[in-house]
């Protein structure tokens, strides 16, 4: 794959998944913001296009993903991967983060009032993700699995078209991206203050790890699962 400034970010991560760390390095959104070209993404993040392209060039001919090539794997297998790896990690991580955040707020809320805002944002993020996962795991994903198994009559009984729930889920993804951007702003890019204790530092690291995993999770859905499911529904109709 030849990568230029006009190449869409999402096309790169679909064809060359190993390039994902490059986008993470430069703070470029490759999931919700994957519809932008590399040049547009660099402008939005105030990054040097030449520098980013130079880094991406290292991966230009490396099309071996570190995991299954999800562009061709059965959709039911991709869904299991998303649920068992990413949904499970997010749930566990949110539990950990909540515990850490409560301790930090009790101990440092007076001297660092920003932790109150962190807890507020985390409460919103947690509620939104729990509802989002419920909708995916109990409604949308079973529909896609039925399509994948060619059970068209059952599938068509749930939705007129898959585009509606997919659009809703992608809107949720955008909202999740906004929540993480708010957390980054409040925490100065997850940089703990100089007087931060071990728990404080663990909290910021846990939030950053969660955001990184959610980005990869959303990428799999927005750029691979959903487009493939829409295409499959079109073929079945």
pLDDT digit string (tens) for 77-135? Answer: 999 999 999 999 999 999 999 999 999 999 988 899 999 999 999 999 999 999 999 99
**C-alpha–C-alpha distance, residues 200 and 133, integer Å:** 28
Residue 133: the pLDDT is 97
pLDDT in tens, 167-199: 999 999 999 999 999 999 999 999 999 988 888
Instruction: Tell me: pLDDT of 237 over 90.
Output: no
Look up residue 203 and give its two tokens. 């909290």
Q: What is the pLDDT of residues 32-83, one digit of tens each?
A: 777 889 999 999 989 999 999 988 887 665 555 555 578 889 999 999 999 9
pLDDT at position 176, please? 96
What is the predicted pLDDT for the residue at 157? 58
- Using the predicted structure, report yes or no on whether residue 234 has a pLDDT greater than 80: yes
Indicate the domain borders of the chain: 9-57, 75-236
Per-residue pLDDT tens over the stretch 211-224: 999 999 999 999 99
Q: Quick one: pLDDT at residue 123?
A: 95
pLDDT of residue 32: 74
136-146 residue pLDDT tens: 999 999 999 98
pTM of this prediction exceeds 0.95? no
Which residues, 6 or more positions from 26, have their beta carbon under 8 angstroms from its beta carbon?
42, 45, 47, 51, 52, 55
Q: How many CB atoms lie within 10 A of CB 211?
A: 20
pLDDT at 208: 92
């Amino acid at each position: 794959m030849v990568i230029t400034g006009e190449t869409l970010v999402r096309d790169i991560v679909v064809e060359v998944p190993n390039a994902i760390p490059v986008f993470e390095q430069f703070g470029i959104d490759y999931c919700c913001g994957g519809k932008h070209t590399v040049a547009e993404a660099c402008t939005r993040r105030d990054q040097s296009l030449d520098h980013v392209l130079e880094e991406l060039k290292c991966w230009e001919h490396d099309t071996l993903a570190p995991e299954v090539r999800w562009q061709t794997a059965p959709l039911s297998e991709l869904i299991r991967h998303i649920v068992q790896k990413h949904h499970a990690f997010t749930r566990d991580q949110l539990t950990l983060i909540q515990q850490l955040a409560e301790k930090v707020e009790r101990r440092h809320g007076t001297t660092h009032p920003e932790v109150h805002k962190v807890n507020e944002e985390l409460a919103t993020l947690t509620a939104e993700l729990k509802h989002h996962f419920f909708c995916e795991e109990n409604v949308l994903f079973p529909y896609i699995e039925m399509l994948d198994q060619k059970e068209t009559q059952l599938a068509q009984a749930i939705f007129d078209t898959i585009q509606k729930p997919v659009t809703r889920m992608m809107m949720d993804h955008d909202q999740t991206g906004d929540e993480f951007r708010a957390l980054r702003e409040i925490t100065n890019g997850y940089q703990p203050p100089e007087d931060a204790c071990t728990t404080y530092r663990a909290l910021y690291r846990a939030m950053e790890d969660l955001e990184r995993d959610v980005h990869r999770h959303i990428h799999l859905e927005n750029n691979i699962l959903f487009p493939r499911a829409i295409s499959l529904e079109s073929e079945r109709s």
